[in-house]
């Protein structure tokens, strides 16, 4: 990422740029035009995001079964979640296990494929699209169902490896779902590829003149130069992984089984909200998830100071 990316600052009215020209034609009109063009976003953000968020915050302090009016219960949903609900903690455990397995694996695969593509001379565009396709398809229910069929007993994996089904064993099911995520490495891969192409070739030339091995070059040039991109992908994919829903829903037929092994946070949230009709409890869970993701992201940002290296930081 170079400095040319800095967005053009929009024309400012009066103030710092100089004395306000009296009666400048079009000032108001331009502001109006801006609102017109912004309106779909403003409308979407307020009606579809901010309002539901406010409602959900309110509901998290109530007992609400979706059919009758919500009744205020204060912090009861929160205390119940932390102290009386063993299944809640199982869902936290499953989610953390999943994040820790799926995210690093996915990023490693994405980086490996990006590096292979970078050195490729012909057909790069084809492979880039081919590897990106799963990211477009992966979130869909149908792929998750296919995944279930592949990893079920009597499915493809069972026939090839003779390991029995994966999705019906508590110790394997999580791994099958994680693989589905890893398979959708396309989006981070494209970003890695862009990052790799920004690394100046002279660095590698100089390193090979000095006799550095491939591995050495990877560790001393590629990774440090790429660290801002790695960081970006890490944050993005971690946030996504915390919210994983569709694959687990399809693979476990909505139950988070076997034996709660794929009962991810969002799946349990859905279960409480839409199956058990405890919308207040589900809303409280959603807010805790939001805070948890915020905290994890903050931690990532804090650690990034010690390992993310920006080229323009030199000499600072």
Partner 1 sequence: MPGNRTTRSCALLVTLALSALLTACGGGDHTGGGKVTLRYTWWGNPDRAARTDQAVALFKKKHPGIDVQTSFAGYDAYKQKLATQAAGGDAPDVMQLDYRMIDQYASGGVLLDLGERSGVLRTDDIDQGLLATGRLDGRQFAVPMGRGTEAVVYDATQWKAAGVPLPKADWTWEEWADAMRALAKRTGKPGSTDPGQSEDAFEVWLRGQGKSLYTEGRGLGFTADDLTRWWTFSDGLRREGAVSSAEQTTQLDGSVENTPLGRSTALSDFNWDAPSSGYQAIVGEGLTLTPMPRAEDGTPGQYFKPSMFIGAGATTSHPEEAAKLIDFMINDEDAAKILGASRGIPVNETIRKNVVPVLEGFDRTVATYQASVEGKLNAPPQAPPSGDSALQNTFTRDYDQVSFGRMSPREAAENYITEAKAELR
Q: Does 307 bind partner 1 (CB under 8 A)?
A: no
Q: How far apart are CA 59 and CA 80, in angstroms?
A: 15
Contact mark string toward partner 1, 40..59, x via CB under 8 A:
xx-xx---------------
Contact mark string toward partner 1, 98..127, x via CB under 8 A:
------------------------------
The only residue of 84, 202, 312, 313 in contact with partner 1, by rule CB under 8 A: 84
The only residue of 55, 137, 149, 253 in contact with partner 1, by rule CB under 8 A: 253
Q: Which of residues 272-301 bind partner 1 (CB under 8 A)?
A: 274-277, 279
Beta carbon of residue 274, minimum distance to partner 1 (angstroms, whole number):
5
Q: Applying CB under 8 A, which part among 132-140, 189-197, 226-234, 268-276 lies near partner 1?
A: 268-276
Exposed / middle / buried, residue 99 (Cβ in 10 Å: 0-12, 13-18, 19+): buried
In this structure, what are the phi and psi dihedrals at residue 234, rounded to the nearest 5 degrees?
Answer: -60, -45
Beta carbon of residue 125, minimum distance to partner 1 (angstroms, whole number):
15
How many amino acids of this chain bind partner 1 (CB under 8 A)?
A: 37
Q: Does 159 bind partner 1 (CB under 8 A)?
A: no
Q: Does 152 bind partner 1 (CB under 8 A)?
A: yes
DSSP readout, 206-246? HHHHTT--HHHHIIIIIHHHHHHHHHHHHHHHHHHHHT--H
Contact mark string toward partner 1, 54..83, x via CB under 8 A:
-----------xxxx-----------x---
CB 98 within 8 A of CB 265: no
Beta carbon of residue 217, minimum distance to partner 1 (angstroms, whole number):
29
Q: Does 250 bind partner 1 (CB under 8 A)?
A: no
> Is the Cβ of residue 101 or residue 271 nearer to partner 1 in the bound state?
271
> Is the Cβ of residue 67 or residue 215 nearer to partner 1 in the bound state?
67
- Collapsing DSSP to helix, strand or coil, 72 comes out as strand
Q: How far apart are CA 71 and CA 65, in angstroms?
A: 10
Cβ contacts of 108-115, under 8 Å, gap ≥ 24: 109/182, 109/185, 110/185, 110/186, 110/188, 110/189, 110/192, 110/233, 111/188, 111/189, 111/192, 111/226, 111/230, 113/185, 113/189, 114/189, 114/190, 114/192, 114/193, 114/196, 115/192, 115/196, 115/222
- Collapsing DSSP to helix, strand or coil, 71 comes out as strand
> Is the Cβ of residue 112 or residue 253 nearer to partner 1 in the bound state?
253
The binding site for partner 1 (CB under 8 A) comprises 4-5, 37, 40-41, 43-44, 65-68, 80, 84, 86-87, 152-154, 164-165, 168-170, 253-260, 271, 274-277, 279
């Amino acid at each position: 990422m170079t400095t040319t990316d800095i967005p053009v600052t929009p024309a400012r009215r009066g103030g710092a740029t100089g004395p306000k020209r009296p009666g400048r034609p079009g000032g108001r009109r331009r502001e109006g035009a801006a609102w017109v063009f912004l309106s779909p976003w403003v409308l979407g953000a307020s009606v579809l995001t901010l309002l539901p968020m406010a409602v959900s915050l309110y509901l998290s302090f109530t007992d609400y079964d979706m059919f009758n009016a919500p009744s205020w219960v204060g912090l009861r949903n929160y205390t119940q979640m932390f102290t009386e609900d063993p299944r809640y903690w199982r869902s936290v455990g499953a989610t953390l296990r999943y994040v820790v397995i799926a995210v690093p694996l996915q990023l490693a695969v994405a980086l490996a494929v990006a590096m292979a593509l970078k050195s490729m001379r012909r057909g790069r565009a084809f492979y880039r699209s081919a590897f990106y396709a799963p990211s477009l398809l992966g979130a869909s229910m149908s792929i998750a169902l296919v995944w279930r069929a592949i990893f079920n007993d009597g499915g493809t994996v069972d026939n090839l490896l003779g390991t029995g089904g994966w999705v019906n064993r508590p110790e394997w099911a999580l791994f099958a779902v994680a693989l589905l995520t890893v398979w959708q490495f396309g989006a981070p891969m494209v970003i890695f590829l862009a990052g790799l192409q920004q690394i100046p070739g002279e660095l590698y030339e100089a390193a090979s003149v000095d006799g550095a091995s491939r591995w050495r070059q990877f560790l001393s040039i590629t990774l440090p130069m790429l660290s801002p991109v790695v960081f970006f992908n890490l944050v993005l994919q971690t946030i996504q992984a915390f919210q994983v829903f569709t694959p687990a829903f399809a693979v476990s037929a909505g139950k988070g089984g076997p034996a709660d092994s794929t009962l991810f946070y969002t799946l349990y949230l859905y279960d409480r909200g839409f199956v058990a009709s405890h919308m207040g409890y589900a809303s409280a869970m959603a807010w805790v998830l939001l805070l948890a993701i915020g905290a994890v992201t903050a931690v990532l940002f804090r650690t990034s100071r010690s390992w993310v290296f920006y080229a323009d930081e030199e000499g600072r």
